[in-house]
Amino acid sequence: MPARSTRFALRHLVLASVLVGSAGLAAAQMHPVEYDPTLVPTTAPATTATPSSRTRPETGTKPGPETRSVFGEIGTTKAADSEVSQGSAGSLRQITTASVGADFDPDMSTDGTFMVFASTQHRTTADIYFKRSDASVITQLTNHPAEDVMPSISPDGRRIAFASDRGGQWDIFVMPAAGGKAVQITTDPAHELHPSWSPDGSSLVFCRLGEQSGQWELWVVDVSNPTVTHAIGHGLFPEWCPVPGTGLDGADQIVFQRPRERGDRQFAIWTIDYANGQVGSPTELMASADEAFVNPSWGPDGLQVVFASIREPAGQTAQADLWMMQTTGNGLVNLTQGSARDLMPVWGNDHNIYFVSARAGRENIWALDARPALMAASGESANPNTFATAPTD
């Protein structure tokens, strides 16, 4: 396949949660492209993974087999029978200040003392950076010409798992939290992305582009013995619940996004129970016919999930807002709204939700106070219509 047709900006995949096929992922390594902040999510996976186009299909045209719109079939938003509280977010502040490139893929340590994230602020390929919560300086943890993205901090704060294409395909690596030698965890020819730690730090869940299925699959690997792996279903961007035993019969829970298997394949938010290699209770938390729901992330107590919704109003630029809901399907709260595209939320133990936004002109990491949203979800908010708004200067 000509390089021109497979050229793809990695940051488009990372920031927009857009699925690409193996050819597109390989092209990201072969033809690195600096992140373009004007790009918005435009594609979802076909039945088999195929290269995605960076160009949105023309308005009114039906997406072809290689460009599936994420703005597909919807209907009524499904989240149990809960009422929605609009825009109940607290104070908003900017955490990183990249003036070139972009900062994205944030993750917070369990104790809230530091965060890690991926960034292209120093070159067109991404590296992993470290930032203490009480400081403004950042420390570069990886320095490799390949792409290092999607960092995940272990529960004890001592290790960082991440995805890299330094071996020619996307694989999962683990390194010390202070930086140092990265150990390769996955070694097969398939592409693997988005690692997330089990509560005890012994295993990782990640997504793999299946060589046989041609679809993104969910897998679990034993970090101390990477030859032990389990396929647990289909989906993308999984995250292990930080609290063990929240599923049925004491099973752990994993949240992820998965497209419909019909229509325009809209993304929805799902959870599964996982214990000893066994999977059960696949549960759809959030689905819609005119919005895609992506980037799910657990609250610290395992009782809430925060995620992004992406919609494309007719004739307008795509928008992405943040939402929060309880895993029971109740307490649905809109956290942000407006023209800014807010993506990749993660929850800290300091009542803050950290996310990626270009609301100040360039993709950086921001934080909002989640306490008003939690009050709104419980029905205690005195003013459930106060939105988080961007600074005007």
The answer to whether residue 117 scores a pLDDT higher than 80 is yes
Greater confidence (195 vs 383) lies with 195
pLDDT at 52: 28
Residue 377 pLDDT grade (very low, low, confident, very high; cuts 50, 70, 90)? confident
Residue type, 379: G
Helix (H, G, I), strand (E, B) or coil at 374: helix
pLDDT at 16: 41
8 A C-beta contact, residue 161 and residue 173: yes
Q: Whose CA is closest to 275, among 200, 215, 187?
A: 200
pLDDT at 161: 98
- Whole-angstrom Cα distance, residue 185 to residue 104? 23
pLDDT (tens digit, 9 = 90+) per residue, 75-87?
A: 333 443 334 454 5
CATH homologous superfamily of 84-377 equals TolB, C-terminal domain (2.120.10.30)
Q: Whose CA is closest to 357, among 162, 170, 109, 89?
A: 89
Q: In which residue are the tokens 């930086």 written?
A: 179
Greater confidence (16 vs 213) lies with 213
Residue 315 pLDDT grade (very low, low, confident, very high; cuts 50, 70, 90)? low
Backbone angles phi, psi at 357, to 5 degrees: -155, 150
pLDDT at 42: 31
Greater confidence (295 vs 4) lies with 295
Q: Whose CA is closest to 133, among 149, 152, 111?
A: 111
Helix (H, G, I), strand (E, B) or coil at 29: helix
Q: Token pair for residue 136?
A: 């403004």
The per-residue DSSP string of 260-308 comes to: -SSTT--EEEEEEEEETTEEEEEEEEEB-SS-EEEEEEE-TTSSEEEEE
Residue 236 pLDDT grade (very low, low, confident, very high; cuts 50, 70, 90)? very high
Q: What's the start-to-end Cα distance of the chain, in Å?
A: 46
pLDDT at 141: 97
The per-residue DSSP string of 209-261 comes to: E-TTT-SEEEEEEETTEEEEEEEEEE-EEEEE-SSTT-SGGG-EEEEEEEE-S
Lowest model confidence (mean pLDDT) among 302-316, 320-334, 338-352: 302-316
pLDDT at 373: 84
Spatial CB neighbours of 269, under 8 Å, sequence gap ≥ 6: 255, 256, 257, 284, 285, 286, 287, 293, 296, 305, 307
Residue 246 pLDDT grade (very low, low, confident, very high; cuts 50, 70, 90)? very high
Lowest model confidence (mean pLDDT) among 161-175, 204-218, 309-323, 371-385: 371-385
8 A C-beta contact, residue 98 and residue 364: yes
8 A C-beta contact, residue 161 and residue 113: no
Q: Whose CA is closest to 325, among 359, 353, 366, 364?
A: 353
How many residues are present in the chain?
A: 393
Residue 66 pLDDT grade (very low, low, confident, very high; cuts 50, 70, 90)? very low
pLDDT at 12: 42
- Whole-angstrom Cα distance, residue 136 to residue 122? 17
Q: Token pair for residue 13?
A: 């995949």
Average pLDDT of every residue of the chain: 78
pLDDT (tens digit, 9 = 90+) per residue, 272-311?
A: 999 999 999 999 999 988 889 999 999 999 999 999 999 8
Lowest model confidence (mean pLDDT) among 18-22, 129-133, 167-171, 282-286: 18-22
Mean pLDDT of 176-202: 96
8 A C-beta contact, residue 351 and residue 369: yes
Spatial CB neighbours of 382, under 8 Å, sequence gap ≥ 6: none
Residue 9 pLDDT grade (very low, low, confident, very high; cuts 50, 70, 90)? very low
- Whole-angstrom Cα distance, residue 50 to residue 242? 33
